[in-house]
Amino acid sequence: MAAQTILFDFTLDKDKTADEEGRQQVAKILRNELEHLFPQLELAYSMESPENGYFAVLHENKDTVVTCRIFQHGLLTLNVEYFLPDGKEPIISFDDLLQTGRSLESGLAIKLKAKKAQKLPTLKRGDVSRYFPASDERIIEYDIDKVVFEARSPFQKIQIMHSKTLGNMLLLDELQNIAESDLIYTETLMCRGVENYEGKEICILGGGDGALLYELLKENPKHVVMLEIDELVMQTCNKYLNVICGDVLEKRKTDQYEIIVGDCVEYLKKFIAEGRKFDYVFGDLTDIPITDAPEGETWDFIRTIFEHSFKVLKADGKYLTHGNGSTCKVQLRLFEEQLDLLRPKVKFTTTKAFVPSFMEEWLFYQVTFA
């Protein structure tokens, strides 16, 4: 079930909405057009304020609400919202919702002499989340049809959503992490076909979905240690995402690998004290924050991970990590500036890949000592 929301925006000459008389005239045109298209609607409540503009709520029974707002600066917004139970036809009584929406946008634009007008795609709001942010915080709509699993661990909200085209998707704190469609993400992160992992010692920071560990073990490494803080993430992915992780999350220790449940920073400190070194360290942790300056808790965490990771990396070793979406140019530059501050100095290369469940291109980093 979901509430369907259709949005319309109109830009008018601000002289038409600057005073109360002008807004009332616009409201009259609006109401006449609505009554023509939706004769069943009745004006339920209206408010007029010289400062804030005109606001009206119209409704049909209990299931349909139409609201409009006329701002004094020349902006008119119109929202049509109705409830749609599962398996039912739209409650709004018109034959072709799309065509009627276009007619409403066109008719109002002409009669209001609007400078600009648009009808936005219908939003579906209800018990299943369908909208998630791109890396630069644009809204993306997914073809999610059900919630497979949802719970909260001591660390985060964990969800498995099912997409008709992407398969099961892991979301942590309502951010896309990985889906059954996303082998390209893991292969680009590990630079498959470029890096040689045979006989190498590897440390994964994070990686609770198990996909990176699963793919690395196919490359015949000497040993892999994975440091993941959230046991529930691993249990969830083992049950609902074994397409990408196989059976590697069913055991915590084998001859090939060991999964340690705990804070990766604390275990890195332990490895440093022991003098333990790795050929590869993977940072499969938090995304680069969307901020204008490298400040705050997450940036501090990133710097801490850098500091400790390079202390457990062999002199000819490599640190591999994901960055963020390619459109996040400011944040990627800030990330690279943090790399430039490291001592001893490091150098880096980058690779890119379009990740299906992210619906965008992402940047990945390969960092070595200079």
Are 219 and 303 members of one domain?
yes
Instruction: Please tell me what DSSP assigns to residue 91.
Output: S
Are 205 and 308 members of one domain?
yes
Domain with 221, as residue range(s), is 180-369
Going by pLDDT thresholds of 50, 70 and 90, the confidence category of residue 33 is confident
Q: For position 4, what pLDDT does the model report?
A: 81
Assign residue 160 the CATH number of its domain: 2.30.140.10
Q: Decide which of 304 and 82 is more confident.
A: 304
Are 191 and 71 members of one domain?
no
Are 302 and 234 members of one domain?
yes
Q: For position 38, what pLDDT does the model report?
A: 67
Q: For position 17, what pLDDT does the model report?
A: 86
Kindly list the catalytic residues: 284
Q: For position 61, what pLDDT does the model report?
A: 56
Buried b (16+ CB within 10 A) or exposed e, 5-18: bbbbebbbeeebbe
Are 94 and 153 members of one domain?
no
Are 280 and 217 members of one domain?
yes
Going by pLDDT thresholds of 50, 70 and 90, the confidence category of residue 24 is confident
* Residue 143, pLDDT above cutoff 90: yes
Going by pLDDT thresholds of 50, 70 and 90, the confidence category of residue 95 is very low
Buried b (16+ CB within 10 A) or exposed e, 238-275: bebbbebbbebbeeeeeeebebbeeebbebbeebeeee
Going by pLDDT thresholds of 50, 70 and 90, the confidence category of residue 100 is low
Q: How far is CA 118 from CA 34, 106, 137, in A?
A: 16, 9, 22
Are 184 and 239 members of one domain?
yes
How much is the pTM? 0.84
Looking up tokens 């710097």, which residue turns up? 303
Q: Which of 55-59, 91-95, 113-117 has the lowest mean pLDDT?
A: 91-95
Going by pLDDT thresholds of 50, 70 and 90, the confidence category of residue 298 is very high
Q: Are 88 and 126 in contact (CB under 8 A)?
A: no
Q: Which of 15-29, 217-231, 295-309, 324-338 has the lowest mean pLDDT?
A: 15-29
Q: For position 1, what pLDDT does the model report?
A: 64
Which residue, of 160, 178, 196, is where some domain finishes?
Answer: 178
> For residue range 181-198, what is the model confidence (pLDDT) as tens digits?
999 999 999 999 999 999
Which residue, of 157, 178, 199, is where some domain finishes?
Answer: 178
Are 9 and 115 members of one domain?
yes
Q: For position 216, what pLDDT does the model report?
A: 98
- pLDDT averaged over every residue in the chain: 89
The number of domains in the chain is 3
Are 105 and 159 members of one domain?
no
Q: For position 93, what pLDDT does the model report?
A: 44
Are 255 and 332 members of one domain?
yes
Q: How far apart are the first and last CA of the chain?
A: 56
Are 144 and 109 members of one domain?
no
Q: Are 331 and 325 in contact (CB under 8 A)?
A: no
Q: What is the DSSP string of 190-259?
A: TTBTTB--TT-EEEEEE-TTSHHHHHHHTT--SEEEEEES-HHHHHHHHHH-HHHHTTGGG-SB-SSEEE
Q: For position 200, what pLDDT does the model report?
A: 98
Assign residue 294 the CATH number of its domain: 3.40.50.150
Are 324 and 209 members of one domain?
yes
Q: For position 204, what pLDDT does the model report?
A: 98
Segment 325-343 shows an average pLDDT of 96
Provide the phi-psi class of 6: left if phi over 0, else alpha when psi is between -120 and 50, else beta: beta
Q: Which of 47-56, 269-278, 287-296, 330-339 has the lowest mean pLDDT?
A: 47-56
> For residue range 204-248, what is the model confidence (pLDDT) as tens digits?
999 999 999 999 999 999 999 999 999 999 999 999 999 999 999
Q: For position 28, what pLDDT does the model report?
A: 82
Q: For position 198, what pLDDT does the model report?
A: 98
Give the span between the Cα atoms of 64 and 6, in whole angstroms: 11
Q: For position 65, what pLDDT does the model report?
A: 80
Assign residue 80 the CATH number of its domain: 3.30.160.110
> For residue range 255-295, what is the model confidence (pLDDT) as tens digits?
999 999 999 999 999 999 999 999 999 999 988 988 899 99
